[in-house]
């Protein structure tokens, strides 16, 4: 059986239905690493490169949301209109791998792999993105928090294709920060996305837990301590950082230590909450 | 091998038949081992070095992370396609004259990355150059002469004597 | 002699690489690009365990896979079952015991790399796990069982010099840890082997640093005479020490001989991490005694180098370490102990800097501590202790090399510091880069110094030589040598030498192979001196005969002839004839072997003239640090290097900038992480190399004081750039945050926790 190359979403879902267990290939930046390193031997592959529905994004001004197809490369999020609509996503996209990776990799890959180090995932989490899944004749919408169920596990069914995500357009300040031990092309040691959306503060963390984490206590504390103009005092920022650290669940691995990650994610939270605000 | 693939790829404007391939073969492997185009180099197999940089539909990508059989109906361009008229490009010339080549293993990938950058941005800043090349590891030069080569090309294309 | 001719690529000019065009076009043949008709692929089965007994190997299932042509193990090695550069202690394939994670157990040859992978997966090896010796101190103490028949101690060397009871008002002490660095050349190990038709010989095209040493070790393991093992240098994608030891050479040859077909082996990146030796991780304790002004009185030191499972060049690395304890400074009293030990960690051996990197990291940390104790700055403490030509090392050896240490420091200090960070700054200029982890207000800047001395060429009585042949015919020169071109540019330099000596322009380098005498290794910063000396010598012999020929033809005493640009000129007469014209129809060929002067072994107190010559360099690092997150951006490296003479300034600059990047890697990011013998990060995702955004601005100056010992006045320039830049960067980080950091690479948690 060859690599299947559907040219529409309906064709793709039909192929997936006809070929249970087929491997879905989007940008290839995760899958091919596994193949090259002998960790995976694909038999049936459905390549989504030519499915236009997955490679588009669209703005819904009425709803105040943006839909981003699962195969839209990160490159297109880094600058331009999308970057204006969701700046934190632009910042996250810019930290993904190298320029070559950002030309191929996409949110569908981050969601499909569901690594806690997936760079775009804290943004999706902080903004309560909706994940759209398509199978033959049906679609299903899942809040991203329900989609990411565990380390490298998600709630996609075998017959489903990740169509894309819907995110709210920014209506408050937002930002993303990622710690890596190199100034470019690095896997996250700790990352965080902060957003003030609809007046409520949200923070989501990457690489400091089995999945991307939200920090409800810290968010609650901050919502009670935001100044009327949305600004944050140094003391409040510091306490927010402390609470975020507390809510993180990092581990030791070859990339860093739990102690450092817990510390770093608190510093990121403290800085993010004041970023872009004149103090 | 359990599955045998037959497909065709368009590389540097020429259609090539690929027969009896394994489905897991990367574009890098197929270019090098099946199509006789060894210009793209493999050094990491995971998109962390840029030695295998090629263009697919005009995008600069790591060919080690492209499943070859998924790249049918795409325009693939490799370093071999830069010299169809037998002369070196200005980027290639500058790499030689500025000392940007030592062992040369990263060079074809870097040459492709520099062409891609300068095609899209005629006057990149120093930081834009560095960010654009941050996916291409060079272990020999420390990048200093590579930046010098890029600067020389920018100056020359913009009509400035270097 | 008033006519200025067009620039010629003679010595002193920045001649361009002859292989440059091929490399930029992508059609330069690296070894991994080689192919042959009817070729098979080879692959290696490696141990997943750091220490285990092999109970059984069952490869029956692997044999059933279509496309598998042969499977070989230790039983199939016809000659010596082990190899090694200094002692032959490393098995071609493990037989009973595996001593490190990644040790080869078997090899297969098959029709496709994927077939090879499946065959390897189908080989079932039953292991009995053994306790892992991972702590070098345990290897020294003798409290654990020996992991090798030769024991756990590879070598101990002591140095005792002067008055060991001397002390002073300033006593500073530190224990320094240096992590395991990988050479991380981009072109992974590769070889293509062709069996001879009679089955009793083999030709192997291989990416290596030393063809003849490979040939010798391979012949011994293959049970073949050396002349039946012919080696040809395949294109080499960087080396940095990692190609000095055998990796896939014997395996490739065995598979080719067994299958009677060409066999290509090529490691992937993960296998490459297991397939070659690394820089020794080391723990170095030093205690310095100084007078109240900061002048050195005595140094005490103890070095422990973790050699990993097999000896490789550990004993030589150890000697380099201990004999460079004092750094480029004068000190007459010392007591030093050094150990190189076996553990079940990955084998370690040669990497650019070879033992001196570890010593320098420690002595430079100590110099800053002395400066702080004496209330002087890092520049002053180095100036008042700076070594000069004629000073004596703690080994009793007199430094006869040009030793312009004071000048290197002063000139580096004169290089302007970079501008301070502006208030508004692009995030890419800040530590953390595009991760946008910080703002300008979070950043602190620091400045640090490092100065080093490095021996160049081989030591301890080794008869080190290189061979070259020069053939002049019809105005053109062909040079033949076995010098490995690994990217350093010997193929550029050698023709420059011929042009300078012989007045020709047309020079080509013949195939680099074993059809001439050894050139020694491309390592120890030695090829410009050694193979440069050999090419120079061969060209001079040819020139003598050319003068004889011209003298006879024109009736001039040859002693009156010289080369002037591209002409032969009678210095006291009127004859002027171009070399081109004078050599039409003439063929002159001469071979020359260049030996450096002999060296000696060290005695039991570490005394002896064990090194040939020394090169020096100074580095000043400026870094920006985010103290709260522990992230670092190296802003500028200022450096002045003692090069003797810059034979090709562009190449020298390339070596300097490249070496600095590698030293930067060791300072802030590069480390193979080993836990209980297990390598945790054998990939470029997790073993981080500096990118274009990590590269600092390098401001380099050269000190050119030709070394009278050196055939061309030039010292090797390859290693010094990467040695003292690491301690300079770490010192700058310490300066920025006001905290002692006794290890490299510096990790974020070392800074902020």
Whether the CB-CB separation of A44 and A61 falls below 8 Å is answered with no
- pLDDT-derived band at B3 (thresholds 50, 70, 90) equals low
C282-459+601-752 folds as: Aldehyde Oxidoreductase; domain 4 (3.30.365)
Cβ atoms of C579 and C566 within 8 Å: the answer is: yes
Q: What pLDDT score was predicted for residue C224?
A: 98
**pLDDT tens sequence for chain A (279 residues):** 579 999 999 999 999 999 988 999 999 999 999 999 989 988 899 999 899 999 999 999 999 999 999 999 999 999 999 999 999 999 999 999 999 999 999 999 999 999 999 999 999 999 999 999 999 989 999 999 999 999 999 999 999 999 999 999 999 999 999 999 999 999 999 999 999 999 999 999 999 999 999 999 999 999 999 998 889 999 999 999 999 999 999 999 999 999 999 999 999 999 999 997 754
Residues A196 and A236 placed together within one structural domain of the fold: yes
Whole-model pTM: value is 0.98
CATH code of C20-27+465-595, in short, is 3.30.365.10
Q: Could you give the CA distance from residue A136 to residue A139 in angstroms, rounded to a whole number?
A: 8
- Residue-wise pLDDT for C45-68, tens only, equals 999 999 999 999 999 999 999 999
Average pLDDT of span C172-200:
98
Q: How many domains are contained in chain A?
A: 2
**B-contacting chains (≥3 CB pairs under 8 Å):** A, C
Q: Are residues B24 and B74 in the same domain?
A: yes
pLDDT at C658 over 90: yes
Q: Pick from A83, A76, A53, A70: which is nearest to A174 by CA?
A: A83
- Which whole number is the average pLDDT over C474-482? 97
Q: Is residue A39 part of a domain?
A: no
Rounded Cα distance, C612 and C623, in Å = 35
User: Per the omega criterion (within 30 degrees of 0), is the bond before C745 cis?
Assistant: yes
Same domain (yes/no): B15, B48: yes
Assess whether B55 and B118 both reside in one domain.
Answer: no
Q: Is the pLDDT of residue B162 over 70?
A: no
Size of interface A-C (CB pairs under 8 A): 98
Residues 6+ apart with CB under 8 A from C2: none
Of the residues B27, B56, B80, which one is the last residue of a structural domain?
Answer: B80
pLDDT at C659: 98
Residue B85 pLDDT: 87
Distance from CA of C514 to the nearest CA of B (A): 21
**pLDDT over 50 at C3, yes or no:** no
Domain boundary among A117, A139, A168: A168
The residues in A 90-109 lying below 8 A from B, measured between CB atoms, are: 97-101, 103-104
Query: Mean pLDDT throughout C94-101?
Result: 97
- Residue A149's φ and ψ, nearest 5 degrees, are -100, -15
Average pLDDT of the residues in C189-203: 97
pLDDT band of C5, cuts 50, 70, 90: very low
Q: Which structural domain range is residue B36 located in?
A: 5-80
Count CA atoms within 13 Å of residue C409 on its CB side. Answer: 24
Domain limits, chain C: 20-27+465-595, 34-130+195-239+243-274, 282-459+601-752
User: Is C753 in Cβ contact with A263 (below 8 Å)?
Assistant: yes
Mean pLDDT over residues B97-116, rounded?
Answer: 98
Do A96 and A164 belong to one domain? yes
Specify the pLDDT at position C7: 72
B162 is a domain residue: no
| Residue B17, domain CATH | 3.10.20.30
Residues A160 and A125 in one domain: yes
Final residue of a domain: which of A150, A168, A186?
A: A168
Angle, helix C356-374 to helix C725-737, in steps of 10 degrees? 40
Q: What CATH number is given to the structural domain containing B139?
A: 1.10.150.120
Same-domain pairing of A82 and A129: yes
Interface list for A 134-153 with C (CB within 8 A): none
For residue A255, tell me if it sits in a domain: yes
C-beta separation of B15 from B8 below 8 A: yes
Each residue of C542-595: pLDDT tens digit?
999 999 999 999 999 999 999 999 999 999 999 999 999 999 999 999 999 999
Statement to judge: residues B71 and B94 lie in one domain:
no
A156/A182 same-domain check = no
Number of domains in chain B: 2
Rounded average pLDDT over B119-125: 97
Q: Tell me the pLDDT band of B4, cut-offs 50, 70 and 90.
A: low
| pLDDT at position A279 | 41
B15 and B65 together in one domain: yes
Q: Among the residues of chain B, which ranges form H helices?
A: 27-29, 90-97, 107-120, 126-132, 144-157
Which residues in B have their CB inside 8 Å of a CB on A? 2-3, 5-7, 23-24, 26, 45-48, 50, 53, 59-62, 64-67, 69-70, 72-74, 113, 131-132, 134-136
Asked if A131 and A95 sit in the same domain, the reply is yes
Distance CA(A117)–CA(B36), nearest Å, equals 38
For B21-73, write each residue's pLDDT tens digit. 999 999 999 999 999 999 999 999 999 999 999 999 999 999 999 999 999 99
When pLDDT is cut at 50, 70 and 90, the band that residue B86 belongs to is confident
Top-confidence residue, C683 or B5: C683
Q: In 3D, which of C308, C391, C301 has the Cα closest to residue C347? A: C308
**pLDDT over 60 at B92, yes or no:** yes
Distance, CA of A23 to CA of A81 (rounded, Å)? 32
Minimum distance, in Å, between the CA of residue A136 and any CA atom of chain B: 22
Average per-residue pLDDT for chain B = 95
- Is the same domain home to A57 and A161? yes
| A31-A35-A37 Cα angle (round to 5) | 115
Whether residues B11 and B73 fall in one domain: yes
User: What is the crossing angle of helices C314-323 and C356-374, to 10°?
Assistant: 20
pLDDT at A278: 52
Q: pLDDT confidence of B160, banded at 50, 70, 90?
A: confident
User: CATH number, domain at A58?
Assistant: 3.30.465.10
Are the beta carbons of B46 and C26 separated by less than 8 Å? Answer: no
Based on the number of CB atoms within 10 Å of its own CB, is C262 exposed (0-12), middle (13-18) or buried (19 or more)?
buried
Closest to C399 measured CA to CA, from C450, C465, C329: C329
ipTM: 0.97
Indicate which CATH number applies to the domain containing A253.
3.30.390.50
Helix, coil or strand: residue B131: helix
Which residue, A115, A149, A168, sits at the end of a domain? Answer: A168
Residues B61 and B108 in one domain: no
Q: What are phi and psi of C289, to 5 degrees?
A: -115, 130
Which residue in chain B is spatially nearest to C65 when comparing CA positions?
B1
Q: Please give the pLDDT value at position B1.
A: 43
- For residue A44, give every residue at least 6 positions away whose Cβ sits within 8 Å of its Cβ, in sequence order, or none: A1, A4, A19, A21, A22, A23
Q: Is residue B149 part of a domain?
A: yes
With beta carbons under 8 A apart, name residues in chain B contacting C32.
Answer: 41-42
Q: Is B22's Cβ below 8 Å from some Cβ in C?
A: yes
Domains C20-27+465-595 and C282-459+601-752 equal at CATH topology level: yes
Hey, is the C-beta of A278 within 8 angstroms of any chain C C-beta?
no
Q: What is the pLDDT of residue B84?
A: 85
Residues B107 and B43 in one domain: no
Clarify whether residues A66 and A136 are in a common domain: yes
- Residues of A with CB below 8 A from C753's CB? 259-260, 263
Average pLDDT on B99-104 reads: 98
Percentage of chain C beyond pLDDT 90 is 99
Cα gap C567→C570, rounded to integer Å: 10
Residue A206 and residue A257 share a domain: yes
Which is nearest to C350 in space by CA: C719, C641, C680, C618? C719
Whole-angstrom distance, CA of residue A20 vs CA of residue A12: 12
Q: Mean pLDDT throughout C416-431?
A: 96
Nearest to C611 by CA among C323, C362, C240, C209: C323
d(CA C427, CA C437): 8
| Residue C6, pLDDT above cutoff 80 | no
User: Quick one: pLDDT at residue B5?
Assistant: 78
pLDDT of residue C111: 96
**Coil/strand/helix, residue A195:** strand
Q: What angle do CA C727, C728, C730 make, to 5 degrees?
A: 60
Question: In which domain, by residue range, is A263 found?
Answer: 174-274
* Antiparallel, parallel or unpaired: β B14-21 and B5-11: antiparallel
Residue A32 counted as domain residue: no
Question: Are B80 and B40 spatial neighbours (Cβ–Cβ below 8 Å)?
Answer: no
- Do B39 and B104 fall into the same domain? no
Residue % of chain B over a pLDDT of 70: 96
State whether B74 and B108 are in the same domain: no
Are A271 and A279 a contacting pair, CB within 8 Å?
no
Report the mean per-residue pLDDT for chain C. Answer: 97
Say if the Cβ atoms of A182 and C437 lie within 8 Å: no
User: Hey, which residues 182-221 in chain A have their CB within 8 Å of chain B?
Assistant: 183-185
Please compute the mean of the pLDDT values over residues C18-44 and round it to a whole number. Answer: 97
Tell me, yes or no, whether A144 and A213 share the same domain: no
CATH superfamily name and code, C34-130+195-239+243-274: Aldehyde oxidase/xanthine dehydrogenase, a/b hammerhead (3.90.1170.50)
pLDDT of residue C2: 43
Q: What angle do CA C548, C551, C555 make, to 5 degrees?
A: 145
pLDDT tens, position by position, C435-476: 999 999 999 999 999 999 999 999 999 999 999 999 999 999
CB pairs under 8 A between B and C: 193
Which of A95, A176, A259 faces C749 most closely, judged by CB atoms?
A259
- Which residue, B135, B101, B129, B100, is CA-closest to B117? B129
- In this prediction, residue C142 carries a pLDDT of 87
Choose one of B80, B104, B139: the last residue of a domain.
B80
**Whose structure tokens read 């530590």?**
C431
**Residue B2 pLDDT > 50:** no
Question: Is A162 found in the same domain as A250?
Answer: no
């Amino acid at each position: 059986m060859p690599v299947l190359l559907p040219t529409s979403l309906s064709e793709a879902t039909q192929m997936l239905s006809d070929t249970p267990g087929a491997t879905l290939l989007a940008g290839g930046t995760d899958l091919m690493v596994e193949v090259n390193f002998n960790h995976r031997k694909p038999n049936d592959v459905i390549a989504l490169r030519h499915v236009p529905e997955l490679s588009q994004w669209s703005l819904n001004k009425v709803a105040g949301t943006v839909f981003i197809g699962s195969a839209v490369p990160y490159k297109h999020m880094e600058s331009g209109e999308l970057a204006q609509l969701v700046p934190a996503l632009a910042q996250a996209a810019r930290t993904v791998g190298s320029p070559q990776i950002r030309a191929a990799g996409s949110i569908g890959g981050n969601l499909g792999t569901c690594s806690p180090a997936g760079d775009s995932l804290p943004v999706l989490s902080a903004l309560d993105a909706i994940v759209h899944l398509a199978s033959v004749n049906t679609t299903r919408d899942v809040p991203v928090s329900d989609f990411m169920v565990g380390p490298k596990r998600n709630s996609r069914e075998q017959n489903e294709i990740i169509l894309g995500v819907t995110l709210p357009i920014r209506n408050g300040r937002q930002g993303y920060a990622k710690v890596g031990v190199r100034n470019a092309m690095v896997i996250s040691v700790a990352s965080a996305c902060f957003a003030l959306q609809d007046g409520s503060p949200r923070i989501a963390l990457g690489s400091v837990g089995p999945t991307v984490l939200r920090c409800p206590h810290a968010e609650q504390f901050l919502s009670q301590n935001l100044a009327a103009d949305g600004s944050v005092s140094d003391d409040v920022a510091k306490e927010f950082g402390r609470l975020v650290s507390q809510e993180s669940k990092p581990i030791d691995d070859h990339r860093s230590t739990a102690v450092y990650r817990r510390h770093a994610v608190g510093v990121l939270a403290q800085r993010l909450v004041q970023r872009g605000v004149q103090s | 091998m359990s599955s045998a693939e037959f497909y065709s790829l368009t590389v540097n404007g020429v259609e090539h038949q690929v027969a009896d391939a394994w489905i897991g073969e990367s574009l890098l492997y197929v270019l090098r081992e099946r199509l006789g185009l060894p210009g793209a180099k493999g050094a990491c197999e995971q998109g962390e070095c840029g030695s295998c940089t090629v263009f697919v539909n005009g995008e600069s990508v790591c060919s080690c992370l492209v499943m070859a059989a998924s790249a049918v109906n795409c325009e693939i361009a490799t370093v071999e396609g830069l010299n169809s008229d037998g002369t070196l490009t200005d980027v290639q010339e500058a790499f030689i004259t500025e000392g940007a080549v030592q062992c040369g293993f990263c060079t074809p990938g870097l040459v492709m990355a520099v062409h891609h950058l300068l095609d899209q941005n005629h006057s990149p800043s120093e930081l834009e150059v560095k960010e654009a090349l941050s996916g291409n590891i060079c272990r020999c030069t420390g990048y200093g002469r590579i930046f010098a080569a890029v600067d020389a090309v920018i100056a020359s294309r913009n009509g400035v004597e270097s | 002699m008033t006519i200025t001719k067009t620039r010629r690529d003679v010595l002193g000019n920045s001649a361009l690489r002859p292989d440059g065009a091929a490399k930029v076009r992508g059609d330069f043949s690296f070894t991994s690009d080689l192919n042959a008709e009817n070729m098979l692929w080879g692959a290696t089965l490696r141990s997943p365990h750091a220490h285990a007994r092999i109970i059984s190997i069952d490869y029956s299932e692997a044999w059933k896979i279509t496309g598998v042509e042969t499977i070989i193990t230790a039983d199939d090695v016809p000659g010596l079952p082990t190899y090694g550069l200094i002692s032959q202690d490393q098995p071609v394939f493990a037989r009973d015991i595996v001593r490190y994670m990644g040790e080869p157990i078997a090899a297969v040859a098959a029709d496709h790399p994927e077939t090879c992978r499946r065959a390897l997966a189908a080989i079932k090896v039953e292991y009995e796990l053994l306790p892992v010796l991972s702590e070098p101190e345990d290897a020294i103490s003798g409290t654990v069982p020996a992991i090798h028949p030769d024991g756990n101690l590879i070598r101990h060397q002591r140095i005792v010099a002067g008055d060991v009871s001397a002390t002073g008002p300033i006593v500073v002490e530190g224990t320094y840890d240096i992590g395991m660095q990988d050479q991380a050349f981009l072109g992974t190990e590769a070889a293509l082997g062709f069996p001879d038709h009679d089955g009793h010989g083999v030709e192997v095209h291989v990416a290596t640093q030393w063809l003849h040493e490979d040939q010798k070790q391979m012949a011994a393991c293959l049970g073949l005479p050396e002349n039946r093992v012919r080696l040809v240098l395949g294109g080499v994608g960087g080396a940095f020490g990692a190609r000095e030891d055998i990796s896939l050479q014997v395996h490739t040859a065995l598979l080719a001989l067994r299958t009677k077909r060409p066999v290509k082996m090529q490691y992937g990146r993960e296998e490459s991490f297991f397939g070659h030796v690394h820089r020794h991780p080391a723990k170095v304790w030093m205690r310095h005694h100084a007078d109240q002004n900061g002048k050195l009185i005595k140094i005490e030191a103890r070095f422990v180098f973790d050699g990993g499972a097999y000896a490789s060049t550990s004993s030589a690395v150890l000697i380099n370490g201990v004999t460079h304890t004092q750094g480029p400074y004068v000190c007459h009293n010392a007591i030093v102990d050094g150990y190189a030990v076996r553990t079940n960690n990955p084998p370690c051996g040669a990497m650019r800097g070879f033992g001196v990197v570890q010593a320098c990291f420690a002595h430079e940390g100590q110099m800053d501590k002395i400066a702080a104790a004496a209330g002087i700055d890092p520049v002053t403490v180095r100036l008042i202790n700076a070594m000069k030509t004629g000073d004596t090392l703690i080994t009793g050896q007199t430094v006869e090399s040009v030793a312009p240490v004071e000048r290197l420091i002063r000139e580096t200090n004169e290089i302007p510091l970079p501008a301070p960070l502006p208030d508004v700054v692009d995030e890419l200029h800040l530590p953390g880069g595009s991760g946008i982890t910080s703002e300008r207000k979070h950043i602190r800047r620091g400045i640090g110094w490092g100065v080093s001395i490095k021996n160049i060429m081989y030591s301890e009585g080794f008869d080190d030589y290189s061979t070259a042949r020069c053939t002049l015919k019809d105005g053109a020169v062909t040079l033949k040598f076995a010098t490995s071109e690994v990217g350093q540019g010997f193929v550029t330099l050698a023709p420059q030498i011929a042009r300078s000596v012989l007045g020709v322009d047309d020079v080509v380098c013949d195939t680099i192979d074993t059809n001439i005498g050894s050139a020694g290794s491309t390592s120890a910063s030695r090829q410009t001196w050694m193979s440069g000396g050999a090419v120079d010598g061969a060209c001079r012999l040819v020139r003598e005969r050319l003068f004889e020929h011209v003298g006879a033809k024109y009736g001039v005493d040859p002693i009156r002839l010289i080369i002037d640009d591209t002409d032969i000129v009678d210095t006291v007469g009127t004859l002027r004839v171009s070399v081109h014209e004078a050599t039409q129809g003439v063929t002159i060929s001469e071979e020359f072997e260049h030996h450096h002067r002999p060296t000696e072994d060290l005695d039991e107190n570490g005394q002896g003239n064990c090194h040939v010559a020394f090169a020096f360099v100074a580095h000043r690092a400026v870094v920006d640090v985010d103290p709260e997150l522990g992230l670092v951006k190296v802003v500028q490296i200022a450096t002045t290097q003692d090069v003797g003479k810059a034979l090709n300034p562009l190449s020298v600059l390339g070596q300097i900038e490249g070496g600095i990047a590698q030293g930067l890697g060791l300072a802030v990011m590069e480390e193979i992480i080993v836990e209980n013998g297990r390598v945790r990060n054998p990939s470029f995702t997790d073993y981080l190399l500096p990118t274009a955004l990590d590269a600092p601005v390098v401001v380099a100056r050269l000190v050119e004081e030709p070394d009278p010992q050196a055939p061309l006045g030039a010292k090797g320039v390859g290693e010094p750039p990467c040695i003292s830049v690491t301690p300079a960067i770490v010192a700058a980080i310490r300066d920025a945050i006001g905290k002692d950091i006794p290890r490299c690479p510096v990790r974020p948690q070392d800074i902020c926790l």
